Amino acid sequence: MTRRATTLLLTGVLTALLSALTVAPAGATGYRYWSFWERTGGGWAYATQGPATSRPADGSVQGFRFAVSEDSADASRPRGTASFAEVCAGTPARAGSKRVALVIDFGTAADAPGGETPPAARTACARVAADASTAEALAAVAKPLRYDTNALLCAIADYPERGCGEQVSGTSKKPAAAPGKDEDDGPRLGWYAGAAAVAALAAAAVWQSRRNRHG
């Protein structure tokens, strides 16, 4: 291998590695909104239809969670394990009506709009007409509700006071770092590993060049 070839190879390797190491991941974009959930089999499932068209049966558990999410797969579930028996224990069955247990999770301070504080999560048992929708059950126990012109649910019990499904840039679902562990260890260790690889390749190229010169 000639000195020129060695130099070109080393330059190419350095350029490729340094380019890869300096690329930063793009910030994700999410939306701040109320997501709608149904409790099935002891867990939460993202609802397949909106609360205005959902017609839960007597004994159903429905949930709402306010959070910033990128999409339905990324959405935060209502917290807690409240069951229908717990929420509606004091609401006996009655002919011509149904009972729907509602779990309303106002989310965390991190997901709250600027200047607002999320209320504590609550549960409620709504007694409504047998053909009532989830939206009607929610209205029976958590007024005032606010909707936009497209019938998107914007606020429950007047929270949040403003905004409706707005975009929020730079969202992240990265878990918190363990005590004493730097959240940026991953990227930093990757940079160190890349730098070590560059150094090793440079040393090998120099060694090969000297060998060719003296061989």
| pLDDT tens digit sequence for 85-103 | 999 999 999 999 999 999 9
User: What's the confidence (pLDDT) of residue 194?
Assistant: 45
Mean pLDDT of the chain, nearest integer: 78
Provide φ and ψ at 201, rounded to 5°.
-65, -40
Query: Tens digit of pLDDT for each residue in 180-191?
Result: 333 333 333 333
Q: For 172, what's the count of Cα atoms within 13 Å in the CB-facing half-sphere? A: 8
pLDDT in tens, 131-147: 999 999 999 999 999 99
DSSP state letters, 42-62: TEEEE-SS-TTT--PPTTEEE
Q: Which of 58, 174, 152, 153 is nearest to 104 (CA)?
A: 153
Q: Are strands 28-40 and 153-155 parallel, antiparallel or unpaired?
A: unpaired
**Token representation of residue 149:** 């012109």
pLDDT the model gives residue 214: 54
